[in-house]
Amino acid sequence: MILREMRERWWKRVVESKLESETTVIKVRGLRPEEAIGRPSRADYPLLKRREVLLQAEVRGVLGQAFTDEPSDYVGSLLSLYTRQLNANKDRALLVAAINATYRYLDLATNTKHCRDEGPELCGKKVAMTLASRLHPASKVVMIGFQPALSLYISMVFRNFRVTDKDPDNIGKMKERILIEPYTSNAEVIAWSDAVIATGSTLVNNTMDGIIEWGNGKQLFFYGVTIAAAACEFNLERLCFESEFT
């Protein structure tokens, strides 16, 4: 499990930096939609639909964030987070937010705070432009985790484009002229594809390992703030152009 390996690498850095002491307290809380994403031009982002919540962790005044569909607040030591079980999304999200804040504090990762207002729309355009510069126009591209702006602009560039998602309100519906397929189809659509762009939230919902396994040998990209520290540790390509440096 990539998150378990991430936890061990994080903890090694915590100990080396002497952050494990009882006096180092981390605070994690779920953000209100306007706090998390501001006032974007469209209302169909998961944060605004309240399907997901952005957790924000603070380590010595430095912020890190992670998406989850099981939000919970937390105040305590890094050690107590390190020893938590990782069996539920809420526990994985707390850990990932804390890891992102820690890596930002240690200057190992940047842009650990979600973009706001017109940021998601601008990011969607930049992601599509990046993929267009890296892939042949006839490439088969799959998105794991529907993000409306990214989906819109990627679909303008690639005719062979498929999207999967976990939200039952999206599955089976047309979004940005694309049929949203269930995440249970991930193995099949990744096998079909030449390139994969997946939400970093897969680190929290425990589907990232399968995506990396099935995507072996394909061009693989991740988007969003949740993946910030893991992208650094595992040399994963992260596309997140409008997130804040903090």
* pLDDT tens, residue by residue, 12-38: 999 999 988 744 556 677 666 666 667
Q: How far apart are the first and last CA of the chain?
A: 29
Q: 3 CB contacts (<8 Å, ≥6 apart)?
A: 86, 92, 95, 96, 203, 206, 208, 230
> Which of 19, 89, 94 has its CA nearest to residue 59?
19
3-state helix, strand, coil in the chain (%, to 5): 40, 20, 35
Q: Residue 59: helix, strand or coil by DSSP?
A: strand
Q: What is the pLDDT of residue 22?
A: 46
Residues in the chain: 246
CA angle 156, 230, 87 (to 5 degrees): 105
What DSSP element (H or E) covers 161? strand 161-165
Any idea where the domains of the chain sit in the sequence? 2-105, 119-239
Tokens at residue 29, please?
A: 């809380």
Q: What is the pLDDT of residue 47?
A: 61
> In angstroms, rounded to a whole number, what is the distance separating the alpha carbons of residues 89 and 204?
6
> Which of 148, 173, 116, 121 has its CA nearest to residue 49?
148
Report which residue type is found at 61. G
Q: What is the pLDDT of residue 184?
A: 96
Report which residue type is found at 199. T
State which CATH number among 3.90.245.10, 3.40.50.11590, 3.40.50.1000, 3.30.390.50 fits the domain covering 119-239.
3.40.50.11590
Strands, sheet with 219-223, edge to edge from the N-terminal-most edge strand: 174-175, 178-182, 161-165, 141-144, 195-199, 219-223, 237-239
Q: What is the pLDDT of residue 42?
A: 60
> Which of 27, 141, 138, 118 has its CA nearest to residue 74?
27
Along the 246 residues of the chain, how does pLDDT read in single tens digits? Answer: 899 999 999 999 999 999 887 445 566 776 666 666 677 666 666 765 567 788 999 999 999 999 998 888 888 889 999 999 999 999 999 999 999 999 999 999 999 998 888 888 999 999 999 999 999 999 999 999 999 999 999 999 999 999 999 999 999 999 878 999 999 999 999 999 999 999 999 999 999 999 999 999 999 999 999 999 999 999 999 999 998 766
Distance of CA 126 to the CA centre of its chain: 17
> In angstroms, rounded to a whole number, what is the distance separating the alpha carbons of residues 229 and 246?
14
DSSP for 230-242, written as a single string: HHHHHT-EEE-SS
